[in-house]
Amino acid sequence: MRFRPCIDIHNGKVKQIVGGSLRDEQDQACENFVSGKDADYYAGLYRRDTLYGGHVIMLNPTSSPWYEATRRQALLALAAYPHGLQVGGGINPENAAAFLDAGASHVIVTSFVFQGGEIRYDNLERLLGAVGREHLVLDLSCRKKGDDYYIVTDRWQSFTEVKLTEQTLDELAAYCDEFLVHAADVEGKSSGIEQEVVRLLGSWGKLPVTYAGGVGSYEDLLLLGEIGKQAVDVTVGSALDLFGGPLSYREILKICS
């Protein structure tokens, strides 16, 4: 289990938000933390600590008046840690290569691939043509509906008809280098991990996968390592002291090492 750091950007600021509160209308979100530092500060810290494979997430849609300010922050982070960070948010075949050229190791994609509630394999093929499998991370962020977890898109606002299962992971593994999975119902709440999701990811274990959502204590990290069979990497956001939370960044690095 590796620690994968994050830099979430919304309305041109590094933030931690409650994931389920995000709304495109008027670019609203319930904020846990708003940083006074730019994104390159955090990228430089992760670079000094040789933390590879963290993700920079742009939380504004490309149609937002805030998108350009958010994109500028993302580019600052990529320039500060070339080839050490992944970037996601509004990625498509037309802009993906530009983010790789700006220093991203991978691009992270959800909404372009899941449209009309289904997996668009034609769009997946277009992404592969633009950046190659080795530079593509598929974000399979999910929310629970009934007894199952469904992949959600549009910054976690829209349910698809695609369930998060081992079969889904198998089908999509041929198209990407890694998976990123936010458990969106607990994202930003520090209320405990979605154990069913972690258990599924740990049992599957065929590609690198990073879990995000709900980590609020060191015990959560230890539990994640146990039920994820040490095969699931982890992101900690709102609970991290870098973002105003109670958990020590340095202590987390020790646990995850």
Question: Which pLDDT tens digit goes with each residue over 139-174?
Answer: 999 999 999 999 999 877 889 999 999 999 999 999
Question: Which pLDDT tens digit goes with each residue over 242-256?
Answer: 999 999 999 999 999
Spatial separation of the C-alpha atoms in residues 252 and 243, rounded to whole Å: 14
Supply 219's token pair. 């015990």
CB contact at 8 A, 12 and 72 = yes
**Full 3-state SS string of 28-81:** ECCEEEECCCCHHHHHHHHHHCCCCCEEEEECCCCCCCCHHHHHHHHHHHHHHC
% pLDDT > 90, the chain: 86
pLDDT of residue 241: 97
Identity at 15, one-letter amino acid code: K
Confidence of residue 17 (pLDDT cuts 50, 70, 90): confident
Burial of 180 (0-12, 13-18, 19+ CB in 10 A): buried
Return all residues near 60 (Cβ < 8 A) that are at least 6 apart: 9, 10, 11, 27, 66, 67, 70, 89, 90
pLDDT of residue 191: 86
Confidence of residue 30 (pLDDT cuts 50, 70, 90): confident
What's the longest Cα–Cα distance across the chain? 44
Question: Which pLDDT tens digit goes with each residue over 80-120?
Answer: 999 999 999 999 999 999 999 999 999 999 999 999 999 99
Question: Which pLDDT tens digit goes with each residue over 51-63?
Answer: 999 999 999 998 9
Question: Which pLDDT tens digit goes with each residue over 168-220?
Answer: 999 999 999 999 999 988 877 788 999 999 999 999 999 999 999 999 999 99
Question: Which pLDDT tens digit goes with each residue over 223-232?
Answer: 999 999 999 9
pLDDT of residue 157: 80
Supply 204's token pair. 């599957």
Confidence of residue 26 (pLDDT cuts 50, 70, 90): low
Which of 81, 77, 79, 141 lies closest to 108, judged by CA?
141
In 3-state terms, what secondary structure has residue 161? Answer: strand
pLDDT of residue 240: 96
CA atoms within 13 A on the CB side of 202: 19
| pTM (two decimals) | 0.93
pLDDT of residue 251: 97
